[in-house]
Structure 1
């Protein structure tokens, strides 16, 4: 594994062997997962630490993505964001975001004269939007099957 770090950002290149190892771990976890994943890390034979559940779930997601050959970007998101950052998170224009704010589809608050949004609200809107898109796609597929348009 090769890493290139510039300030707070790091890029890690995964070798084909490491990707194969990630697939093996992913498959193992998939076969044995009946509840929350528990991961224990150790240094030597005596010193071990049980990873917190949230971090263990993050590691499992990373292993899955690496095993599938995906590019993974990890970063922290501030609790509160500007409208420009929120629009970028949703991949929409700032005027479109402000329309959503005016229509109260995304909660916002004022800091002085500036509109701010909580990241958790922006991400919740994005998740809901993706779910609406998935539902619409499933409905479209059902109609295609019903009408025989998949021939």
Structure 2
């Protein structure tokens, strides 16, 4: 897994194709089935039916929908181990700041030799916790502004 690679943004033609593909695939999504069948046709006209898990089919539709909006998409396995730079990039913070979070116990990590590694799921858990706390603070500020009739 290479999480350093920055995915390229889709071209306008790719976004248009993704939009149409997403729309067509979603028409055939059967959510009550465990698997979906897709027929793959090669350049020579040969075809074969391929069964995929419904969760993977949904993921494909979601990827195409993101591409249709002009977004780049990358997949990271939930059990992936990230370097401190990769983790910092995902949180949009500097690597030294992330290292302080790690050393302060804010995010669990382990060492591989002398290098710190962070599990993707631990990073997501931290981000969700921070986002929840941020939302609570914003709600408290909003309530306070309402009580003081500050006009918002």
CA distance in 2 between counterparts of 1:94 and 1:8 reads: 17
**CA deviation string 1:50-93 (max 9, x = no partner):** 222332121121233244x2312325568222222221221111
Residue 98 of structure 1: how far off its partner (Å): 1.9
Specify the alignment match of 2:57 in structure 1: 56
Specify the alignment match of 1:40 in structure 2: 37
Q: Within the alignment, does 1:110 sit opposite 2:111 as a pair?
A: yes
- Output the TM-score relative to the length of structure 1: 0.62
CA distance in 1 between counterparts of 2:124 and 2:97 reads: 16
Specify the alignment match of 1:130 in structure 2: 131
Q: Is the 8 A contact 1:86 1:117 kept in 2?
A: yes
- 1:107 aligned counterpart, secondary structure: coil
- 2:106 aligned counterpart, secondary structure: coil
Specify the alignment match of 1:149 in structure 2: 151
Residue 24 of structure 1: how far off its partner (Å): 3.7
CA distance in 2 between counterparts of 1:55 and 1:117 reads: 26
Q: Is the 8 A contact 2:39 2:50 kept in 1?
A: yes
Q: Is the 8 A contact 1:22 1:63 kept in 2?
A: yes
Residue 120 of structure 1: how far off its partner (Å): 2.4
Residue 116 of structure 1: how far off its partner (Å): 1.9
CA distance in 2 between counterparts of 1:148 and 1:33 reads: 50
Specify the alignment match of 1:4 in structure 2: none
Where structure 2 has 5 or more consecutive residues not aligned to the other structure, the ranges are: 42-46
Larger relative CO (CA 8 A, sep 6+): 1 or 2?
2
- 2:93 aligned counterpart, secondary structure: coil
Count of aligned residue pairs for this structure pair: 141
Coordinate RMSD, CA, aligned: 4.0
Q: Would the alpha carbon gap of residues 43 and 111 (structure 1) be closer, same or farther in structure 2, given more than 3 Å must change?
A: closer
Q: Would the alpha carbon gap of residues 58 and 127 (structure 1) be closer, same or farther in structure 2, given more than 3 Å must change?
A: farther
Q: Would the alpha carbon gap of residues 42 and 25 (structure 1) be closer, same or farther in structure 2, given more than 3 Å must change?
A: closer
Q: Within the alignment, does 1:73 sit opposite 2:73 as a pair?
A: yes
Where structure 1 has 5 or more consecutive residues not aligned to the other structure, the ranges are: 1-6
